[in-house]
């Protein structure tokens, strides 16, 4: 569409500093609205996505997106695993008294 260039530029300008410069996990919450919007848009317009996926370039984009999604899920899973003891304490009966120094 005619406004996609500006929309993508705004998205990148807003999210890249949060993702790279402020790499602390707390700062990633700023990315949630953009990720959620992209997910809802993908579901709402899935027929258009299927038409795009029918082209060779579209298939590449779809697989790149799936690879990025798998990488994010793997990263999240490894982070949860690395902090599993903290999760156990936090979700335990006295988790509210853990006083973690995030």
Percent of residues in the chain assigned helix, strand, coil, to nearest 5: 80, 0, 20
Residue 101 has pLDDT above 60, yes or no: yes
pTM for the predicted model, two decimal places:
0.53
pLDDT digits 0-9 by tens, 17-65: 766 666 666 666 666 777 788 788 888 888 887 888 888 888 888 888 8
pLDDT higher for 5 or 3?
Answer: 5
The answer as to whether 102 is a domain residue is no
Its domain, for residue 85, covers 4-97
What is the tally of structural domains in the chain? 1
9-to-6, 12, 24, 85, 100 alpha-carbon distances in Å: 5, 5, 23, 40, 37
Spatial distance between the Cα atoms of 69 and 60, rounded to a whole number of angstroms: 14
Q: What is the pLDDT of residue 83?
A: 87
The answer as to whether 65 is a domain residue is yes
The answer as to whether 22 is a domain residue is yes
The answer as to whether 8 is a domain residue is yes
């Amino acid at each position: 569409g005619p406004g996609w260039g500006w929309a993508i530029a705004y998205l990148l300008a807003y999210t890249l500093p949060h993702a790279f410069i402020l790499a602390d996990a707390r700062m990633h919450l700023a990315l949630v609205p953009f990720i959620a919007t992209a997910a809802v848009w993908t579901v709402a317009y899935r027929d258009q996505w299927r038409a795009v996926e029918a082209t060779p370039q579209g298939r590449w984009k779809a697989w790149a997106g799936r690879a990025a999604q798998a990488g994010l899920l793997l990263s999240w899973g490894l982070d949860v695993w690395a902090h599993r003891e903290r999760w156990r304490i936090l979700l335990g009966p006295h988790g509210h008294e853990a006083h973690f120094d995030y």
